Structure 1
Amino acid sequence: MYRFIIAVALCAVWAASAHAAGFAMHEFGARGNALGGAMVARPATDPSSIAFNPALVTHLDTPQVLAGVTMVQPEVTIDTPGESTTTEANVWAIPHAYATTPLTDTMYFGVGAFPRFGLGNEYSKTWPMASELTYVGIQSVSVNPVLGFRPTKDFAFGFGVEAMYFDFEEKMRPLGMDARIKGDSTGFGLNGGMWWQAFEDIALGASFRTPVKQHVKGRATFDNVPAGYGPLFRDTDAEGDITLPGEVRFGVYWQATERLGVEVGAMRTFWSSYDELRIDYGSPVGGKPASIKQTEWEDVWRLSAGAEYRLTDNVDLRAGYVYDEEPVNSAHLDFMVPANDRHLMSLGVGYHEGPWRVDLSYTYLLITDREGEVHTAGGNVPVRFHDGYAHLLGMSAAWEF
């Protein structure tokens, strides 16, 4: 039953995104996309609850599998002195896969494979800031087995272990050469959650994930090095540490009518763990043993609301909204994450017949404008990030055994 989890995990290594606050990702399934991620307290759940709140696997009384993908097309325009540049209109794929099964009347098991962090921005090799950045890619995949326990019908809790593969790549063109830094690593973390049916029509949920430390090892390579600079720019080993942030989620679910369920929620991501981007070289690059970029990101909130309406016995209609704060410190703007606070508006539909179901979602993401300065090797550069947006199309298919 879990072979397809491994296949999707391998595919998810290549998933990248440029739309979530910082470089976090929340596209864990088409149903969750359509509901704005309001899936922390919702009792009528699906296997993607592994990513939102592992306590909810206790509501899945039969073995189930779910898999799918979200396609993302982001874009943003950057004004620098004398020129306006738009990022390349790439399309990124974010896959997901889950499997759950009851073990006893009160204990449940699930495993999921999904990316939690990703970033993909690409610029023309001739844009004014090519010496700083022409491409950045972060790919990740988390494999997350969980156990859920439901000692009473009104209360459940769960916990799991997360193994995360992390891959980083950055390209730039200093002095007209082609420079590339690439490395990867694997880190581990924990997650857990609880669910409580507080009243007949109101349920509460909460979950957490611990920080994941990554020690990234790889290579720095240089091609087309100008004459005379060869001794300063030689291929070398490179490594660096990054602590990916922990998080907490809260949700309140209201069964407004027999057909309508509404959830509102909040998420806190502790991005202050990402205070600098430091890369140490085996041999000095440009005469320096390391490159250090101050980031000093800030902890932020992500607020969400989602409603699901059962139109017929086979069709569900969904809508969601998210306000997503940007963690990038105004004093340390950079071209890796040219963004600001975001608004996400989502719609979706689900169709189920017998043991199978299909969910579809569409999300429009709007990034608010931002002005400031980027610190570069040549001094501070005034910038304006504007006209940022993304289209997200999601599809998930599930089977109940």
Structure 2
Amino acid sequence: MRALVLMTMVVTGMLGVASSSFGAGFKVSEQSAKAMAMGNAFAAQADDPSALYYNPAGIAFLKGTQVSVGAIGILVPQTEFSGTTPLSGTAPFGTGVSSSTEKAKQDIFVAPTVYATYSMENLPLSFGLGVNAIFPLAKSWDDSSVFRNQVQNVAIKPINFQPTIAGRIDALKLAVAAGLDVTYAQVTLQKMAYSPVADPLNPAPPFGAYELGSLGLDGTATGFGYNFGVKWQPRDDFSFGVAYRSSIRLDVSGDANFLATTPTGFGAIGLTGTAPFPYSRARATSSASTNITLPDTLDLAVAVRPTDKLTLEFDATRTGWSSFDKLEIHFDSPQFAAFNNQPSPRNWRDVWGYKFGGQYSVNEHLDLRLGYFYDQTPVPDGTLDPLLPDADRHSFSFGTGIHQGNMSLDLAYMWVHFVNRTVNTQDMTTLIGENGTFKSDAYLLAANATIRF
């Protein structure tokens, strides 16, 4: 038990270090190596401790105490853009017409997971605790890119704690489970602020792209939700799963910093009477707040075993991304009036993902797995931007499970191809949007070690 507590503390600490945006929107569906190898089609099988994420009812069928510790390495989607943006060209008047090519910064993130379950011997009750990161986001463009006024760096680093209880009705071969989701998140955003007018407090011609300065935000939030699951296994060769996870509202509060780098920027923070010496700078600070509602999810799944060695599963997952309708930041300081309460429409939509996976047991020590996952993007053309240049994607995966005694090791690889996304949303009056095409691919490696006591 002491080792379990120590391991949980270590991995929990690591979760705060780095995570990456990946699944539909910024959802990461890859929460264990076994499930990832089967295209995340796992809500009906749910037969190891990672069931806590995929379908918590599955822990009711596990024996004794089981602990699974793992990590998923994500090569951040390698995004390339070709086209024009409101800043492509020479500011302030020669922008919006010069075609350019930009590449997002390359990075590798590691998202660890911990799952622990305990099933009582004399009662059909099981308990579990999961620690993971379900909705991380990370994207970085070069500080001088043509997207610098929309985003230079953005990150949402969440940690989710999931205490769960499950019960089994043996006569019906049915299990049900319910749990809490407690999500703590750190949120950061860095960009260069621009204005289409020389004085953002008194808009008037001439119109162009006027640099104001560097704007940064840092905040934290804690939100609460719930989840439940049902697993029914009427026969040894059939199982069905239903899992639901509620939405979670994150009320983010923190600090904002603005560094004025031009006379226009000085005016934006009320220093209109100042004639800045060339290369001078002025800094302003403010408390800031916003809110983000993480979507609810519903999984419907069926698994079949045509033979003793082969298991096949199909899952359909609905994600309620319509909860993300806008992004609006409130600044308390009057110096931030030029930036305050400017809603950025998102208008995301609810989407479905479809997952197919299979496992073939070569012998008692070795399993082979394959999977495919089609995921729809929730982002409409009208609000697609470099903060999250999302697209429909096709995911292909494979992996293996190695078993020896009371231990097992699961390994998986996944390649994700984002369908090329072409948009025509460039708006010179607001200096947002772009006319061009985004191309992305991502690569994942995962490993989990599970011990049964």
TM-score, length basis structure 2:
0.85
Q: Aligned equivalents of 1:387 and 1:134: distance in 2?
A: 18
The offset of 1:93, in angstroms, is 1.0
Q: Aligned equivalents of 2:22 and 2:397: distance in 1?
A: 14
Q: Aligned equivalents of 1:70 and 1:27: distance in 2?
A: 8
Mark the CA change 1:108 to 1:343 in structure 2 (over 3 Å): closer, same or farther: same
The offset of 1:381, in angstroms, is 4.0
> Which position in structure 2 is the counterpart of 1:137?
155
Q: 1:155-196 CA distances to partner (integer Å, 9 max, x unpaired)?
A: 111010110012211111122632211111000000000011
Once the two structures are overlaid, the 10-residue window that deviates more, 195-204 or 32-41, is 195-204
1:131 and 1:176 in contact (8 A); partners too: no
> Which position in structure 2 is the counterpart of 1:100?
117
1:46 and 1:60 in contact (8 A); partners too: yes
1:80 aligns with 2:116: no
1:172-191 pair list within 5 angstroms:
172-174=191-193, 175=211, 177-191=213-227
Could you tell me which amino acid in structure 1 is paired with residue 329 of structure 2? I
Task: Give the secondary-structure state (helix, strand or coil) at the position aligned to 2:169.
Answer: strand
Q: Aligned equivalents of 2:79 and 2:339: distance in 1?
A: 33
Q: 1:303-352 CA distances to partner (integer Å, 9 max, x unpaired)?
A: 10110111121011011110000001222111111121011100001111
Q: Aligned equivalents of 2:442 and 2:263: distance in 1?
A: 42
Could you tell me which amino acid in structure 2 is paired with residue 130 of structure 1? R
Mark the CA change 1:253 to 1:277 in structure 2 (over 3 Å): closer, same or farther: same
The offset of 1:385, in angstroms, is 3.5
1:365 aligns with 2:416: yes
Could you tell me which amino acid in structure 2 is paired with residue 57 of structure 1? I
> Which position in structure 2 is the counterpart of 1:295?
346
Once the two structures are overlaid, the 10-residue window that deviates more, 191-200 or 272-281, is 191-200
Q: 1:89-125 CA distances to partner (integer Å, 9 max, x unpaired)?
A: 1111111001111134300001010001011111111
Q: 1:202-257 CA distances to partner (integer Å, 9 max, x unpaired)?
A: 11110101110110001111235334634634211110111111111011000111
Task: Give the secondary-structure state (helix, strand or coil) at the position aligned to 1:319.
Answer: strand
Once the two structures are overlaid, the 10-residue window that deviates more, 283-292 or 371-380, is 371-380
> Which position in structure 1 is the counterpart of 2:242?
206
Could you tell me which amino acid in structure 2 is paired with residue 98 of structure 1? Y
> Which position in structure 1 is the counterpart of 2:139?
121
Q: Aligned equivalents of 2:24 and 2:294: distance in 1?
A: 13
The offset of 1:295, in angstroms, is 0.4
> Which position in structure 1 is the counterpart of 2:439?
387
> Which position in structure 2 is the counterpart of 1:260?
310
Mark the CA change 1:47 to 1:385 in structure 2 (over 3 Å): closer, same or farther: farther
Once the two structures are overlaid, the 10-residue window that deviates more, 388-397 or 153-162, is 153-162
Q: 1:338-386 CA distances to partner (integer Å, 9 max, x unpaired)?
A: 1210111000011111111111100000000111134666446433343
Mark the CA change 1:362 to 1:57 in structure 2 (over 3 Å): closer, same or farther: same
Query: Of 353, 357, 368, which residue of structure 2 is paired with 1:306?
Result: 357
Query: Of 65, 68, 72, which residue of structure 2 is paired with 1:66?
Result: 68
**Which runs of no fewer than 5 residues in structure 1 stay unpaired?**
none
1:219-230 pair list within 5 angstroms:
219-223=255-259, 225-227=261-263, 229-230=265-266
Q: Aligned equivalents of 2:285 and 2:166: distance in 1?
A: 49
Q: Aligned equivalents of 2:139 and 2:11: distance in 1?
A: 23
1:39 aligns with 2:90: no
Once the two structures are overlaid, the 10-residue window that deviates more, 14-23 or 220-229, is 220-229
How many residue pairs align between the two structures? 400
TM-score, length basis structure 1:
0.96
Q: Aligned equivalents of 2:181 and 2:322: distance in 1?
A: 21
2:21 and 2:27 in contact (8 A); partners too: no
The offset of 1:288, in angstroms, is 4.2
> Which position in structure 2 is the counterpart of 1:320?
371
Could you tell me which amino acid in structure 2 is paired with residue 324 of structure 1? D
Q: Aligned equivalents of 2:43 and 2:247: distance in 1?
A: 19
1:61 and 1:102 in contact (8 A); partners too: yes
> Which position in structure 2 is the counterpart of 1:89?
106
Q: Aligned equivalents of 1:315 and 1:332: distance in 2?
A: 46
Could you tell me which amino acid in structure 2 is paired with residue 327 of structure 1? P
1:16 and 1:92 in contact (8 A); partners too: yes
Task: Give the secondary-structure state (helix, strand or coil) at the position aligned to 2:327.
Answer: strand
Q: Aligned equivalents of 1:172 and 1:304: distance in 2?
A: 37
Find the structure with the greater CA-based Rg: 2
> Which position in structure 1 is the counterpart of 2:176?
157
The offset of 1:80, in angstroms, is 2.8
The offset of 1:59, in angstroms, is 1.6
